Amino acid sequence: MIPVSGFEGAVVGVLGLGRSGLSAARALREGGAQVLVWDDNIAARERATDEGFEARDLRRAMDEMACLVVSPGIPHLYPEPNPVIAAALDAGVPVDNDIGLFFRSLGAGWEMYDRAPKVIAVTGSNGKSTTSALLHHILTSSGRESQLAGNIGRGVLDIDPPGDGGMIVLELSSYQTELARALTPDVAVFTNLSPDHLDRHAGLGGYFAAKRRLFAEGGPDRAVIGVDEPEGRFLAGQLSEGRSDDRVIRISSGRKLLGPGWYVFARKGFLAEWRKGRQVASIDLREISGLPGAHNHQNACAAYAACRSLGLAPRDIEAALRSFAGLPHRSQLIAEANGVRYVNDSKATNVDSALKALQAFDKIRWVCGGLMKEGGLGGLAAGLPHVTKAYVIGREPEAFALQLPGVEADICGDMATAVARAMADAQPGEVVLLAPAAASFDQYDNFELRGQDFTRNVQDALPK
């Protein structure tokens, strides 16, 4: 645990008692704060009171509180503030989250280290989980102490105090970066940007602004920036003092980047590192099974660049890339039988991530559908030629199928039917791919359960 500093003897409210909220409450108490908690869910409140926390309507405690700590899923500005947060803003009570508490507390007592620990923070629309896990894998494979936390792995305040020269890899969502009052990573990574969570951020500009705070507020020593979208190029330009400023490492999947700066890019399956106008390393990514497709090659570029900024050698990074198994529900190869591959990419919950999955394979039997997000499916057009046939699930599969022009669509409704029909139709050399391009909430509590259902149906149908 990382005890929260700066609130000794003060009253701090914690709103939302999921994983991050309860973790923050424990860390605040460990640091000497008097903690008041609240969650609209009675069971969550009971779990907290069982641990000795006082549950109270926080709107009636504003005069006492030095700070209000908010869980990431609770709106604080758009579409409208939660009533407790609105009361805090009216009363002038500072509002923070567990990420802000982490950064303000982590450096306490660092004079004891010969080599200060380092924090690498990863944000972006797609690929941040894989990039974070890949970074952690490379660091541990290279003999470095590393902990993985944030939006993946453990809560940021649940990790162990790092050892001498230890590394902490954080995956951070826009919900987390937007509210944190302290953001001071040593290395910050921006993977890419595509429309998502637009209601929460009042549009694409607000969404990008939330991501940008990790760089603008924190001033990292190194910034790794994906420049395949205008927002990334803009961010890299804002952070750089000039073309040769190697504090900014620009990365790309599909574009060759040249100039006097520091660049890492992947083209035609090969990762290349260029610095000061010269190529210094190259890696063949084509046969690395844990990183299929151009989108994963971008993830590899981001992790490679961050590790190079920390002083790791290219050969050590390459060895770790080859042993990376990938993450569940993210281009996860779950089976191969009779020449057909079965891939679970349930995390492809938006159009951009689903497009990347479609472009990673040819001859796809595509299991798709669910709760469509704002903007429709027009952005999938470039990937549809890869689809042999779509098998559409969800509560409104007909409406989903109507947005797939030129694609033969089988209206299945549920996962079991879709998997059974796709498996019956699949021919050698084809891929049965779950990449829904939609949220899961019309049929599942989360994308993990959807991916597990797909996996179970496939494995149950395969010969034993």
- Annotated binding site for ATP, which residues? 124-130
Beta strands in 338-406 (DSSP E): 340-344, 364-369, 387-393
Beta strands in 238-321 (DSSP E): 248-253, 262-267, 270-275, 278-284
Q: Give the whole-angstrom CA distance, residue 417 versus residue 422.
A: 9
Q: Give the whole-angstrom CA distance, residue 191 versus residue 186.
A: 16
Residues with Cβ within 8 Å of residue 92, at least 6 apart in sequence: none
Q: Give the whole-angstrom CA distance, residue 341 versus residue 332.
A: 10
Asked if 228 and 298 count as a contact pair (C-beta separation under 8 A), the reply is: yes
Q: Give the whole-angstrom CA distance, residue 142 versus residue 165.
A: 13
Residues with Cβ within 8 Å of residue 215, at least 6 apart in sequence: 188, 190, 223, 235, 238, 239
Looking at the chain, how many residues does it have? 464
Task: Return left, alpha or beta for 342; rule: phi > 0 is left, psi -120 to 50 is alpha, else beta.
Answer: beta
Annotated binding-site positions: 124-130
Question: Which among 137, 68, 147 is positioned nearest to 321, based on CA atoms?
Answer: 137
Q: What angle do CA 296, 100, 24 make, to 5 degrees?
A: 100
Q: Give the whole-angstrom CA distance, residue 153 versus residue 147.
A: 9
